[in-house]
C-alpha cells in the first residue's frame, strides 16, 4: 500500500501523479471529513460559499480510485514496522508521502472560545460564515499576508474591522514601512482600524470572547475574532521517527531521512530557489510542484526539485500587488503614474522585486531573476519596467 497523509494540494497532486503512472493501492488519510479543498480559496469561500473551494471536484478521491480515510487523524508513524497508526486503525504501508500541512500557531490564551476562528481549516471558515451575518465587529489578530487578506474580505462583507499587528506595519516579514503603506491606505479607506505595536496575548470573555487583550493591557472589543498569527507544520505524529528542524527535512528528491518516505507541502523544509536557504515555504504552487516531484521519485524516478518560490500577491486592493523573491538588502525603485516598482540586487543579480500597479512584466521579471543574469550593466534598473528592455535582456 502507498500511503498519503494529507489531502491538501500537495497530497492530492501526489495522488494524481501516482495514479497516472501506477495502479497500486493508495490510501489517503485526512483529519478533516470534507472532500479535498484548496486553502487558497478559503477567503473567497467565506464571502460566497459554494463548491469552488473543492477545486478538483468533490468526487476527486472516487475518480482517483483511492481508499479515502477522511476524518481519520494520524496519531503516530512507526517507521521500523512501516505502520500508520490512526485514531481508528492501524495500517501497514510500503511507501509513504507525508503531506500533512500546517495548523495555526497562536501563542494566545482563549483560543477555545466559540467565536474565535482561524483560517487553517474549512470547518473553521464554514462555522464563521454561518455566524457572520449576525455580527458587526471583527477583530483580526495578525497583520501578515493571511491576516491582511482576511481583514480585506471582512471589510468587503460590511463588518467593522480592527486589525492588530505586533510590529509597526502590515506584512512585516516581506515589506518595509514604505511599501506596507500601499496596503494600509486601502484598509483604512475601507474603514479598518489598524492597531500597530499591539501584541495580542489573550482572548477574554465569559462563555464567548468579548475582547483581545494586548501585552500592554489594551483591549480591543468585538463579536467575532480571527487568529492569523502564523502557522506550524503538522509533525507531531512523526517527529520521533524522521529528521526534523522546523519541518520535515527532505533532500532534493523530496525524500525524508527514511527510505521510501517522502514529504511535500507546508510540512517540509526545502531550499529557496533564489537564495538556497532552507525553510518552510507555504504556498499553493510550491505544494503542487513538490507533490508531483515526491510522487515521481517514490515511483523510482530521480527527478530533483529545483527549489521553492517565495511570492505573495494580494487581491481586493483595487490594484495589483506582488512581492517576489528575496526582498532584503540593496534595491532601486521607480514610481510613475501611480505605479511603483522596486528591484532588489545582490552581486549583480536581480533577487527580488515588489510591484504596485502595473504587473504586465511580472513574469519576465521572475524569469530574469531565476536566470541569474548579471543586470548590473543595465543600470539604472528603472529600465526593467519596459517590456522590450526585459525581453532583450533575457534573450541575450
**How far is the C-alpha of 252 from the C-alpha of 271, rounded, in Å?**
9
- HSE-up of 374 (CA within 13 Å, CB side)? 3
Question: 227 vs 51, 107, 127, 132, 285, CA distance in Å?
Answer: 25, 10, 14, 15, 24
Look at residues 169, 19, 28 and name the one whose alpha carbon lies nearest to residue 96: 28
Concatenating the DSSP letter of every residue in 173-189 gives: TT--HHHHHHHHHHHHH
**How far is the C-alpha of 11 from the C-alpha of 63, rounded, in Å?**
15
> Looking at residues 55-67, what average pLDDT do you find?
97
Grouping H, G, I as helix, E, B as strand and the rest as coil, residue 355 is strand
As a whole number, the mean pLDDT across the chain is: 92
Domain spanning 319-395, CATH architecture: 2-Layer Sandwich (3.30)
Indicate the burial class of 80 (C-beta count within 10 angstroms; 0-12, 13-18, 19 or more): exposed
**How far is the C-alpha of 117 from the C-alpha of 228, rounded, in Å?**
9
Over residues 146-203, the pLDDT tens digits come to 999 999 999 999 999 999 999 999 999 999 999 999 999 999 999 999 999 999 999 9
> Are 55 and 16 a contacting pair, CB within 8 Å?
no
Concatenating the DSSP letter of every residue in 41-57 gives: GHHHHHHH-SSTTSTT-
Question: 19 vs 38, 61, 64, 254, 263, CA distance in Å?
Answer: 20, 11, 7, 18, 18
Q: Is the pLDDT of residue 389 over 60?
A: no
Question: All 3 cell numbers of residue 165?
Answer: 499587528
Indicate the burial class of 176 (C-beta count within 10 angstroms; 0-12, 13-18, 19 or more): middle
Give the distance, in angstroms, between the CA of residue 312 and the centroid of all CA atoms in the same chain. 9
pLDDT at residue 191, as a whole number: 96
**How far is the C-alpha of 214 from the C-alpha of 237, rounded, in Å?**
33
Which pLDDT band holds residue 376 (cuts at 50, 70, 90)?
A: confident
Q: Lowest-pLDDT range, 61-70, 200-209, 278-287, 364-373? A: 364-373
Percent of the chain scoring above 90 in pLDDT: 81
Look at residues 206, 198, 203, 258 and name the one whose alpha carbon lies nearest to residue 226: 203
Q: Lowest-pLDDT range, 161-175, 198-212, 359-373? A: 359-373
Cross-strand partners of 161: 138
Q: Is the pLDDT of residue 396 over 90?
A: no
pLDDT at residue 199, as a whole number: 96
> Looking at residues 1-13, what average pLDDT do you find?
98
> Are 99 and 8 a contacting pair, CB within 8 Å?
yes
Strand order in the sheet with 219-221: 200-204, 211-214, 219-221
CATH 3.50.50.60 in the chain: give the residue spans.
2-103+231-298, 116-227
Give the distance, in angstroms, between the CA of residue 37 and the centroid of all CA atoms in the same chain. 14
Class of the domain covering 2-103+231-298: alpha beta
CATH number among 3.50.50.60, 3.40.50.720, 3.50.30.30, 3.40.50.150, domain 116-227? 3.50.50.60
348 φ, ψ (degrees, to nearest 5): 80, -5
**How far is the C-alpha of 62 from the C-alpha of 181, rounded, in Å?**
47
> Looking at residues 218-224, what average pLDDT do you find?
96
Number of other CB atoms surrounding residue 209 within 10 Å: 24
**How far is the C-alpha of 51 from the C-alpha of 208, rounded, in Å?**
30
pLDDT at residue 371, as a whole number: 85
The answer to whether the pTM exceeds 0.85 is yes
Cross-strand partners of 268: 248
Amino acid at each position: 500500500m502507498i500511503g498519503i497523509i494529507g489531502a491538501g494540494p500537495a497530497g492530492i497532486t501526489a495522488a494524481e501523479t501516482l495514479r497516472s503512472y501506477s495502479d497500486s493501492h493508495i490510501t489517503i488519510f485526512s483529519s478533516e471529513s470534507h472532500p479535498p479543498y484548496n486553502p487558497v480559496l478559503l477567503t473567497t469561500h467565506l464571502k460566497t460559499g459554494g463548491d469552488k473551494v473543492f477545486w478538483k471536484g468533490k468526487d476527486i478521491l472516487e475518480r482517483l480510485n483511492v481508499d479515502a480515510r477522511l476524518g481519520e487523524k494520524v496519531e503516530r508513524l512507526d517507521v521500523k514496522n512501516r505502520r500508520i497508526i490512526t485514531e481508528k486503525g492501524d495500517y501497514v504501508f510500503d511507501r509513504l508521502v507525508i503531506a500533512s500541512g500546517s495548523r495555526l500557531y497562536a501563542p494566545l490564551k482563549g483560543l477555545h472560545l466559540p467565536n474565535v476562528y482561524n483560517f487553517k481549516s474549512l470547518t473553521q471558515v464554514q462555522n464563521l460564515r454561518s455566524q457572520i451575518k449576525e455580527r458587526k465587529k471583527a477583530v483580526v489578530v495578525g497583520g501578515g499576508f493571511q491576516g491582511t487578506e482576511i481583514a480585506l474580505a471582512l471589510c468587503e462583507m460590511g463588518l467593522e474591522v480592527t486589525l492588530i499587528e505586533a510590529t509597526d506595519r502590515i506584512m512585516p516579514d516581506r515589506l518595509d514601512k514604505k511599501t506596507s503603506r500601499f496596503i494600509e491606505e486601502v484598509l483604512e479607506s475601507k474603514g479598518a482600524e489598524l492597531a500597530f505595536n499591539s501584541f495580542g496575548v489573550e482572548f477574554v470573555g465569559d462563555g464567548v470572547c468579548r475582547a483581545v487583550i494586548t501585552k500592554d493591557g489594551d483591549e480591543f472589543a468585538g463579536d467575532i475574532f480571527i487568529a492569523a498569527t502564523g502557522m506550524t507544520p503538522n509533525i507531531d505524529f512523526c517527529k520521533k521517527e524522521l529528521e526534523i528542524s522546523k519541518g520535515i527535512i527532505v533532500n532534493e528528491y523530496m525524500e525524508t531521512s527514511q527510505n521510501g518516505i517522502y514529504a511535500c507541502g507546508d510540512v517540509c523544509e526545502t531550499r529557496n530557489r533564489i537564495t538556497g536557504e532552507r525553510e518552510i515555504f507555504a504556498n499553493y504552487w510550491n505544494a503542487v510542484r513538490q507533490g508531483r516531484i515526491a510522487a515521481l521519485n517514490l515511483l523510482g524516478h530521480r527527478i530533483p526539485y529545483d527549489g521553492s518560490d517565495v511570492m505573495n500577491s494580494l487581491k481586493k486592493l483595487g490594484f495589483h500587488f506582488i512581492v517576489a523573491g528575496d526582498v532584503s538588502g540593496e534595491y532601486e525603485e521607480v514610481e510613475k503614474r501611480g505605479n511603483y516598482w522596486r528591484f532588489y540586487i545582490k552581486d549583480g543579480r536581480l533577487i527580488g522585486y515588489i510591484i504596485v500597479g502595473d504587473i504586465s512584466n511580472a513574469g519576465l521579471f521572475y524569469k530574469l531573476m531565476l536566470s541569474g543574469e548579471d543586470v548590473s550593466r543595465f543600470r539604472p534598473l528603472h529600465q526593467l519596467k519596459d517590456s522590450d528592455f526585459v525581453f532583450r535582456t533575457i534573450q541575450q
